[in-house]
Structure 1
């Protein structure tokens, strides 16, 4: 470059989780669209029982989350795509999606087979599009994740979260975890209620929020640490011009998922490609510093904290909810 709630008092439980406190897990049921089933209780769509409904396309379409300008990532992902082609025996095409809703809709319609979904939209992809998350980028020791950070200008009078009251604050998009969902769940207990103590302005992306803070268009913005770190490495802003007001404990980062209706053999070869890929010496490894491999994960376990935050915010996994993004 892990944590089921109602709004009010249950937000304190989320914050306790963020601080690493133990949490009694409650039984969850899947919230899948009616076209999917979850007989085994893993909260993701089961493969079709009818073998004739399983897909084994000659060309696989791969997309990466549009958290930043998607065009710059096609070259970065080329080494992995070539590795994926070798392991699956398929042609693989990179699909530069322009929004989270477009990415989810592409898998829901059957046009997208493998994708990296950003943290907040992952539950939408699971429930609306039949996505099955199986991997995440991580380090050799198995650690993974990113932090929600609040940035302001270096000379700003915002010293703590409560100081954002009455200021111009940029969130990224409604479905973003660190850019909107987590702030709405966590900030009230830190001194400000979004849309009550300050008016939320949606910038559209983490990079736009950060650049807006640097330019003075916004007084502060909650963003994903991994995004702003990469921006600094590319020289898109001077870290001396900004400072961090507050940061959370780590959240899971982008999930990598395949469509639920691919053949078991194809799913296995896709997993093999991810888990055998060597980041070292590749453009992907240079872009995503601090990670060295893909690590196996499950939606049920690693996305529990995100589901809790979204439940606290009253999120419903519907096309209308996603369209608001």
Structure 2
């Protein structure tokens, strides 16, 4: 029923395969760069120094479909000596914000989170960066995909894309919230989501209604 929608990184493949969403844009900078990193944080005074130290600890993931909050950790962490649900018990916090605040409060020993979210939290004064320590970060992942419905009239779809690509961030609430973002950059699901599909494939994710419910 929607003509336009934004989907976070992990759920985007479900939107494409189950709802016919067509990703066409992502927020980025003048240099064409975009993306965020998966970062793992613990308390500043924690005895956790490297990824293998997460064994036996309380680690918060965000939600099953989240890329940086769950899917990527499950695909990448075993290669660094720690397997979620085997070496540590996964607790779902519900969001990146709750994971980070839980680490600060000591509710969790560590948490994988999206860099762009915790950076905005710090800018708003929601936590003191001095209270936490990052022990690992990934290469960049794509951020939220902006999509149109697959069955729109081509002329309408093109006008929507033009509205996005001509939008000026400077002086807007979006520009204030997303520092370093200055425009919408053209992308395709085939290219920019290849690494995400690989991660989800490694995790056995199936793009079906049942797979969505399971994730």
* Residue of structure 1 in register with 2:152 after alignment: 262
* Residue of structure 2 in register with 1:186 after alignment: 76
* Residue of structure 1 in register with 2:93 after alignment: 203
Q: Does 1:119 align with 2:9?
A: yes
Aligned pairs (5 A) from 1:38-187: 110=1, 112-187=2-77
Aligned residue pair count:
215
> Structure 1, unaligned stretches of length 5 or more?
1-109
Q: What is the alpha-carbon distance in structure 2 between the residues aligned to residue 238 and residue 119 of structure 1?
A: 26
Match of 1:244 among 126, 130, 134: 134
Structure 2 SS opposite 1:140? coil
Structure exhibiting the larger radius of gyration computed from Cα positions: 1
TM-score (norm 1): 0.65
Q: What is the alpha-carbon distance in structure 2 between the residues aligned to residue 123 and residue 162 of structure 1?
A: 30
Structure 1 SS opposite 2:25? strand
In terms of fraction of residues, the more strand-rich structure is 2
Aligned pairs (5 A) from 1:308-323: 308-323=198-213
Match of 2:176 among 271, 286, 289: 286
Shift of 1:147: 0.2
Q: Does 1:301 align with 2:195?
A: no
Q: What is the alpha-carbon distance in structure 1 between the residues aligned to residue 151 and residue 169 of structure 2?
A: 28
Shift of 1:265: 1.2
List 4+ stretches of structure 1 deviating above 3 A.
none
Shift of 1:324: 3.1
Q: What is the alpha-carbon distance in structure 2 between the residues aligned to residue 222 and residue 136 of structure 1?
A: 22
> Structure 2, unaligned stretches of length 5 or more?
none
RMSD of equivalent CA atoms: 0.7
Structure 2 SS opposite 1:269? helix
Structure 2 SS opposite 1:240? helix
Shift of 1:323: 2.0
